Amino acid sequence: MTDKDISKVKELLAHPRKIVIVPHKGPDGDAMGSTLALKILLETLDHDVELIAPNDYPDFLKWMPYQEEVLIYEQEKSRCDELISQAEIIFTLDFNHLSRAGEMTDSLEAATADFIMIDHHQQPDDYAVVTYSDVTMCSTCQMVYHFFENIGLTDHITPQVATCLYTGIMTDTGSFRYRSTTSRTHLVLADLIEKGADNTSIHENVYDTSSYNQLQLLGVALQNLQVVEELRTAYITLSQEELDRYNYRKGDTEGFVNYGLSLSGIIFAAIFIENKAENIVKISLRSKGTFSVNDFARKYFHGGGHINAAGGRSDLPLKETVEKFISILPEYRTSLAG
Ligand code: 5GP
Ligand code: MN
């Protein structure tokens, strides 16, 4: 953050304010961890804080501190619209463009509040009075820690705040393995453990709470795995019928896309998940090395993200979406064929 941004934030937070905090649609561990941490800490400073998620978040995050206070826009539109219109400050975390707030976008665009963005995605939009954007960061949670450092609030990090931040860093780094995980990340993690994050419990709460149905669905996903060997690409499909068969719940497919990338020699992995309710196919993309799935998702699937992890969607049926994907691959032969 620049000195100017730091002074601006300090000025904005100098006395109790009405604050709304927003994660992106389809909130993940980093989105929920960063927004919850910020809410908990700002409340200790007597601000009036509401956390409004555009839609529901996965069950594997439903143990997180204060998560029961999260409002879901889809479920309480008029109340949320009112809170957004009355807010003096709106923090948007873990996304780079208001359209990533889904159905909340119009309401956010109409808001008169001062916006503060904290985010690590590429190509940030410029709607905020303070834009703290750093694409080299592994997670928005690590950025929220630095945000607290910059404005002199690390002493206010309670065990609950530490737990939320640890969770988001863990989930966004694939448990500290992606290249964006730096020595600085580990220093932050060490301090979070010092401040009360119980690392073993957090790992167990997130990763060891699968349902039987979820593992059966993983079995189907692995059966459906296809490999395009010469282009070092692997992809998985899951149809609505397959999801229904195993009583799919939000978050059940988290991490499935990584199995493609775990195959020896594969550097590009995708998963296509049919969503009949929204009439789309949701796509997650992952890569190793310099192949940018952010560019790929932006160019072909109305999406974006990071170089090695991105997402998007397709309005075509599942089969046609996969055919489109396969037909695009040869354009990237020089990067993919190796
Ligand atoms: P995931 O595949 O885990 O849903 O998302 C991977 C990364 O891509 C995350 O950083 C996420 O924010 C981003 N992402 C996922 N879906 C979309 C999308 O539809 N649009 C954009 N712009 N980014 C996405
Ligand atoms: Mn993130």
For the domain covering 212-337, report its CATH number: 3.10.310.30
Read off the pTM.
0.93
Residue-range domain boundaries for the chain: 3-207, 212-337
pLDDT recorded at residue 326: 98
Q: Which of 25, 28, 171 to mutate to test the pocket of ligand 1 (most atoms within 8 A of CB)?
A: 28
Ligand nearest to the CA of 292: 1
Same fold for the domain at 3-207 and the one at 212-337?
Answer: no
- Across 229-260, b (16+ Cβ under 10 Å) vs e yields eebbbbbbbbbeebbeebebbebbbbebbebb
Task: Specify the 3-state DSSP secondary structure of 284.
Answer: strand
Judge contact between 119 and 92, C-beta under 8 A.
yes
**228-259: pLDDT as tens digits:** 999 999 999 999 999 999 999 989 999 999 99
To test the ligand 1 pocket, which listed residue (25, 30, 121) has its Cβ within 8 A of the most ligand atoms? 121
**Cα-to-centroid distance, 7 and ligand 2 (Å):** 25
When pLDDT is averaged across residues 74-88 and rounded to a whole number, the result is 98
CB of 283 shorter than 6 A to ligand 1: no
Q: Residue 163: what are its φ and ψ, rounded to 5°?
A: -60, -45
Amino acid identity, position 1: M
ipTM of the complex, rounded to two decimals: 0.95
Name the nearest CA neighbour of 142 among 30, 289, 298, 279.
30
pLDDT over threshold 80, residue 338: no
Q: Which residues contact 92 (CB under 8 A, 6 or more apart)?
A: 22, 98, 101, 108, 115, 116, 117, 118, 119, 128
Confidence at residue 27, expressed as pLDDT on a 0 to 100 scale: 97
Average pLDDT over residues 140-165: 98
Cα of 245 to ligand 2 centre, how many Å? 30
pLDDT in tens, 86-142: 999 999 999 999 999 999 999 999 999 999 999 999 999 999 999 999 999 999 999
- As assigned by CATH, the class of the 3-207 domain is alpha beta
